Every structure is written in C-alpha cells, then in structure tokens.
Structure 1
C-alpha cells in the first residue's frame, strides 16, 4: 500500500498544514448534519486522501518519466 512515508529517500512528505486545515473545514461543514462519529471518520479519510495525493504529486514533480516529452 502506498503511504507518504514510502519514498526511496525515506523522508516523509506531508501536505502543508493550511491545505489540510482547509479540507478539514470544508468536510466538517459538509458533514455537519451527520452523526459526529461518521463525520469525523469522513474527515479522517479525506485527510489521508489529501496526504497521499499531495505525496504523489510531489514525487511526480520531482521525477520525470522516461521516453515522455516534458510538459510546458
């Protein structure tokens, strides 16, 4: 399973706190009418998704694919 801590250079990559906070606030507002435990679980899943997505984007930006033209 992919996690932000599984990079070859063994340095954890984390999304900026401001990005995490904005997603948490958005999802807490969106799930306000749900049961509190369900809302917190949804926010936890979103936080994990943001971390993984940020880490994937970070590594994609650092490494180039062979035999593909550079995007401009």
Structure 2
C-alpha cells in the first residue's frame, strides 16, 4: 500500500474576548491536529461578533502545515 501525500488545511472555529485570545485558541487546536512541532501558515482568518455575548467574538481560522 502506498502513502498518498497532499496538502491538507484545517478550519477551526474558536471564540474569545480579544484578538490574542482568539489567536491562541486557534493555534492550540491546529497544533493538536498537526502536531506540537508543526510550523503553521494561516490561510485565512475572519472574526465576527457573537450575537449572544456582546463582548465576545467568534472566528474561523484556516491553517496549513508548512512542508
């Protein structure tokens, strides 16, 4: 059986009160998926206000491991 390799992206949805909190939460999820020693590139990141909580934000961040 041969191993197939191709680029893989990971999309995570996180929430937080500040941009730094959002970044750390997203990075933690990506490292959990790709491995703690992975070098990561952010493909895209978008944040929006959470309707239920006026002081919190939800973000979708897309990561790719740097080969």
TM bin, normalised by shorter chain, reads 0.3 to 0.5
Higher relative contact order (CA 8 A, sep 6+): 2
Which is helix-richer, 1 or 2? 1
TM-score (normalizing by structure 2):
0.36
